[in-house]
């Protein structure tokens, strides 16, 4: 299996597989930056879309960037409190990502004939 998929397990947090955890942190930061970049584009293209009004691209992107930075910082730190904090923040980031996906799907389903329903 791929090292990215294998690094997402709790066992890798506990055994501290440094190479895979760095890859996981880099991927999280990249996803967050892509989310932020697309959020800026979406803001200028459709200001009153539900997802933009709820600031989904920004809080989702920032949570992924922060959790990726904590994951990469966790690799070189022997502190067990940081390891627990990184695991908790990764869980919060995953829940926020699932919530953001649901909001994006609802925004898309609310569209009529290719145009989104706007909130004023």
Establish if 116 belongs to a structural domain: no
**Span 61-71, pLDDT tens digits:** 999 999 999 98
**Which domain, by its residues, includes 50?**
3-109
Q: Is residue 117 part of a domain?
A: no
**Count of domains forming the chain:** 1
119 located within any domain = no
Q: Per-residue pLDDT averaged across 13-21, rounded?
A: 67
- Within a domain: 120: no
- SS in 3 state form for the chain? CCHHHHCCCHHHHHHCCHHHHHHHHHHHHHHHHHHHHHHHHHHHHCCCEHHHHCCHHHHHHHHHHHHHHHHHHHHHCCCHHHHHHHHHHHHHHHHHHHHHHHHHHHHHHCCECCECCECC
pTM of the full structure: 0.75
């Amino acid at each position: 299996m791929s090292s990215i998929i294998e690094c997402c397990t709790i066992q890798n947090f506990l055994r501290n597989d440094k190479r895979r955890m760095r890859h996981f942190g880099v991927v999280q930061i990249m996803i967050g930056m892509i989310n932020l970049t697309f959020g800026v584009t979406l803001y200028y293209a459709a200001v009153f879309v539900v997802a933009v009004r709820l600031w989904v691209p920004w809080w989702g992107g920032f949570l992924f960037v922060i959790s990726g930075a904590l994951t990469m910082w966790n690799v070189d730190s022997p502190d067990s409190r940081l390891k627990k904090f990184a695991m908790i923040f990764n869980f919060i980031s995953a829940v926020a990502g699932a919530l953001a996906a649901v909001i994006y799907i609802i925004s898309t389903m609310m569209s009529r004939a290719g145009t989104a329903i706007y909130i004023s």
